[in-house]
Structure formats: C-alpha cells, structure tokens
Chains A and B, each alone.
Chain A
Amino acid sequence: MTLVTADPATFQGKGVVRRLMSRPPTAIGCIVALTIIVVAIAAPIVAPYPPAANDFDAILSPPTFAHPMGTDELGRDTLSRAIWGARASMLAGILATLLAVVVAVPIGLISGFYRGRIDGLTMRATDAMLAFPFLIVAVLLTAILGPSLQNAALAIGLVQIPKLIRITRGEVLGLREESFVQAAIADGAPDRSVIFRHILPNTLNVLLVQATVVLPFAILAEATLSFLGLGVQPPTPSWGVMLTAAQPYLGTAPWLAIAPGMAILLTTLSFNLVGDGLRDVLDPRLDR
C-alpha cells in the first residue's frame, strides 16, 4: 500500500465531473449520452420535420439533402422519427431502470443484512419471478393494463427487479462480514446507519454499473414490446416501432433500419462507457 499524496480536493466529490472528463472514453460516453438526452428533450426544436409529416414526393427516398437519413414508405423523414423516437425509448428505459432500482435495492439490502427468514422468503419470491419468461410477464401486464409506454416500462422494470435484488443481496452478504461493518456495529451504530452509511455506499459502484446494463436492456426491451404492439402505439415513433417497420424494406431501403439501429447502439454504448467511468471515479481506492 503506497501513500498517495494527491491533491485532497480531488477526493471530495466536487471533482467528479472533472475526473470523468479526464478519461477520453468516459468523456466521449458522457458527451454522447448527454447529447441523446438533450436531443430527446428538444425533439420539437431539433427535428427537421414533425414525426408524422408525409412527403409524398419522397416515398422510400434514400438519403438526400432534404432527408439526410431517407424516408419511409409513407414519406416520413427517418431522422426526425429517430429523434422523436428517442423520447419514447429513453423515457421507457429510464422509467424501467428507476423502478427496478428503487424497488430492488432496499429489498436486497434488508434481505442481505438480516438474512434468516426474511432472506429465505425474498429469495424464493425472486426464484418464482425469475421462472416467468420476460415476454409472458409483459404480455400479461399489458393485457390487463392496456398497451402503452408506461405499462411497457412497468413490465420491463418488474422483470429486472429479481435480478437486481439478488445482485444487491450478494454484495450485502459479503459486506456485512467486513471488519468495517462489524466495527461500526461495535461503535454502537444502529442498523439503519450501518445499512445506509456503510453498506449502501459500498454497493453503489456495482449497482451503478448494473444500472448502465439495465438501461440499454430496457431500451431494447421497449423495442421488442413495441414490435409486438404492446408498447408505444403508432404513429408515435419509437426506435422499436421504427425497426419493426423497417423489416420488409431491409433489402431495398436499409437506411430505415440504420437510423434507429445506430441510435440504439450509440445509446447503449455511451451509457455503458459512462457507467464504467463512474465506477472508477467514484471508488476512492482506484484513484491514481
């Protein structure tokens, strides 16, 4: 163990942004992810055309100056639809991830910390939930609640919960045996403070990385559900809806698939890069 004598200010959390930006892959990831979010929010301003506007002079047109990413079979601008689609996709992804984290993390913390009967119950419940295939849960839910973006996000979030509970619980099981947790208890810390001040912060790096895996998964899952007609309803565009619509024209108009495909790829990649970088930056031990 070497004695690091770096600038103390870099350890106080305020330098997080600066340190994120000092790593080229992370910086690129941050910029791309932020751009996607901004573009999604500012879609009405940024998109060259409304998402449902038809240009009947340019049906299935390849990329041109007027339509940089081409048009679909109804003459709608692919770039504009991809930009509008970002709203639905990002919203579904973020909602689903938030739901999964907010529900799963507390359950995992309690289950791993107290073990015993609570833990046994939780684990059997997650086993049961994991036994259901994702699509069945999603179809069931949307059949009951009706197909919509929110319900698709709900279904996607729900299926992520058992996995996240298990990951959190596994981390907690290891951490609660750590000396510093035992030491905190020996110093008179109540359970609440042991769990939230000592255990939770030490699981954050794992959870953060997990969240950056769940988010792209949720975006892809939203595409799947929309493909089955259970998610976003046409004509509202989402990347999944667009990919579905592009299928028949894959040979003749590949640009229809390329735009949403690239959007999904960039989103997934950028969020993974951000997650990786955050994990490194938030862990004080990994600082050079």
Chain B
Amino acid sequence: MSPVLDVRDVSVRIRVPSGHHVQAVDRVSFSVEPGETLAIVGESGCGKTMLAMAVLGLLPSGGEITNGEVLLDGEDLRTATPSRLRDIRGRTIGTVFQEPMAALDPVLTIGRQIAEVIQRHEGLSKDAARGRVLELMSLVGIPDPASRIDQYPHQFSGGMAQRVVIAMAIACRPRVLLADEPTTALDVTIQAAVLRVIDSLKHQLDMAVVLITHDLGVVADVADRVMVMYAGRVVEEADVLDTFAAPQHQYTRGLMGAIRHPTRTPPRSRLTEIPGMVPTLLAPAQACAFAPRCPLADDRCRAELPLLGPIRDHHAVACFHPGVPA
C-alpha cells in the first residue's frame, strides 16, 4: 500500500528573538499508510511538535522548512498555496491537540464548533450539518448527543471535551489524523478510553494516524510503528513490538528504563533515568547529539554523525554502537 503522508528529509529552522537559529527538526523522514498508527516519541523539546506543525504548514513566526518535502497523496504541501493548505487542514488532515479544554472556543456551543468544520469544508446547510454533528458525537462516544450538542465546553469533562475535539478532527473523514499528545492532559482512567476512540475511528475511516507522545504506555497501546526522536533527529524507527522487545539506541533503551513494568520491575527498585538534558541545537548536528549523555559514547560518536540505517527488516537505528551494552 502506498503511504498517504510521506515526509522526506524535512528540516525546520526557527529564528529565536536573540537572532540565533535553532535547528528544531533535522532531516527527518517518515511515512504513514492508511489504517496505520505511527507514534513519534521523544522528550519535550526534541522537535516532535515542530515536525507536526511543519506538516500542517503552521510553523510559528520565525520558523521555516529549510529542506525536504511533505507529500500528501503525492502533493507537495511546501509548494501549496495558502488557500489550498486551508482546504487540506481540517478536511484531509485532522488535528487533535493536547489540551482539550483550551482547544475549544469557550463562547461557542460545541455543536456550532463541530458544525463549523463541516460547513466550511463541505458547504452543508446548517440543518444538514447539525445531523452530521449528532452522528459524529455518537461516533466518538459522547452519550446523549441530542442534549449535549447545545452545551458549552465548560460543561464537559476533560475526556468528553477531547472526544469533541476528535469529532471536529474527523468531521470531514480526513485521510490523516495528527494527534499531538492527545491524552497527556487527561486522567489516566480517561486516557485509555480516548485512545480506544482514536483506534476504532482509524479502522472505521481507514485513516493514517500520527500520534505524537512522550508516553510509552500510550505507544504500546495503539501504535503500529514507533519513531524515536532526539534533538530534532530520528534516532530509531521500528515496529512497536521490536521497539519494546529489542530497543537498539541507547536513548530508546533509556526511555524504556524510565518506565515501571508491573511485573518485571522489582518492587521498590529505583527507575533508571537518562542523565543530562536535551541539548538545543543551534546548527545541523555534526556528531551524535546523544553522545554527552550516552554510556557507550566514544571519540567517533563525538566526531561523526551516525546516520539512520537498517539493522534488520523494518528496524532502523542511528547509532555506532546499537544494541545491549557489552
């Protein structure tokens, strides 16, 4: 199957107020097929959100794509006109944001907010749109849509509000769903429910899902493939099972070490953390950005940039010393 979203070699540079440039994303490639969920994982500041914004053409002021192409069904979005991009946003690419409460307009009823997307992209009448809104609300699992459609966002709990945001994102049956930390702001008990909604919609609508998260529990739940980012670069990409069973990059291994496993982690044992902090890159990397924090780093890691290369089928890593430390 051919990928619906194909991001090739994309670099994003952001000019910060001091006049410096930050290399937020450095030559990143990925692609997703319909019905597939790709999880993009990494710490805060590793460039995952900037990557998503670059795909949408919504980089903050001072940010620009300096390299590569973003292909949506073969069409390069970098060269698309602003009005074409507006047409794609919300119709072909649906977006779910982190804070459901903040993502909803406090002074409009949720019915009007969902309807707005449909009316804008499909030119439906108000009445027809309202019918669709009710359908969408039950599709995302909001009980009693008829009585909730005229309520305001503040009358919704976080989980229900996120369902509304998801309903808006899928209102026009997008080919790609871009979810940026969709469960981070929710209670743990609600997270699983919201993830299930996204997962079942993916199957029903045959969407490609790009799930940006730092939560490996979320990844294990719904992802098919995992792409691990560090300091703007992809350090490892693999099927979800491989990622958890045989992580190759020391950074990925570090992330795994920082989560508690209910049966395998001995009780009262200390979780391992990754020492140090994510570096801010002012220029495209010349060496492995993780080297200062890596137990296996040697002179080569500090002098040469490891490129992403396959170590077996569907598993690629950017490291000179992949695998378990000797």
Contact = CB atoms under 8 A, between A and B. Distances in A.
Interface in A9-57: 11-12
A188 B86 contact: yes
Interface in B99-143: 99, 101-109, 116-117, 120-121
B147 A8 contact: yes
Contacts of B86: 188-190
Interface in B153-189: 154-158, 165, 168-169
B105 A198 contact: yes
Contacts of B169: 187
A136 to B, nearest CB: 38
A197 B116 contact: yes
Interface in A233-270: none
Nearest to A283: B107
Nearest to B112: A197
Contact of B103 (A183, A188, A285): A183
A4 B154 contact: yes
Interface in A201-256: 201-202, 204
A8 B151 contact: yes
Interface in A154-191: 178-180, 182-190
B103 A179 contact: yes
A189 B116 contact: yes
Interface string A98-124: 000000000000000001000000000
Contact of A285 (B58, B88, B109, B154): B154
Interface residues of B, number: 41
Contacts, number: 95
B116 A285 contact: no
A3 B103 contact: no
Contacts of A193: 116, 120
B97 interface: yes
Most buried by B among A8, A115, A202: A8
B90 A186 contact: yes
B189 to A, nearest CB: 16
Contacts of B89: 185-188
Given A179-B102, A198-B105, A283-B107, A188 B120 contact: yes
Contacts of B106: 180, 202, 284-285
Nearest to B155: A4
Contacts of B23: none
Contacts of B152: 11, 284-285
Contacts of A204: 107
A5 B152 CA distance: 11
Most buried by A among B58, B90, B109, B158: B90
B190 to A, nearest CB: 13
A207 to B, nearest CB: 13
A190 B107 CA distance: 19
Nearest to A201: B107
Contact of A183 (B61, B95, B156, B157): B95
B91 interface: yes
23 contacts: A1-B101, A1-B158, A8-B150, A11-B150, A179-B102, A184-B105, A184-B116, A186-B58, A187-B116, A187-B120, A187-B169, A188-B87, A188-B91, A188-B121, A190-B83, A193-B120, A198-B105, A201-B105, A202-B107, A204-B107, A284-B152, A285-B152, A285-B154
Interface of B: 56, 58, 61, 83, 85-91, 94-95, 97-99, 101-109, 116-117, 120-121, 147, 150-152, 154-158, 165, 168-169
Given A183-B95, A285-B106, 16 more contacts: A3-B155, A8-B150, A11-B152, A183-B165, A186-B56, A187-B120, A188-B87, A188-B91, A189-B116, A190-B83, A201-B107, A202-B105, A202-B106, A204-B107, A284-B107, A285-B152
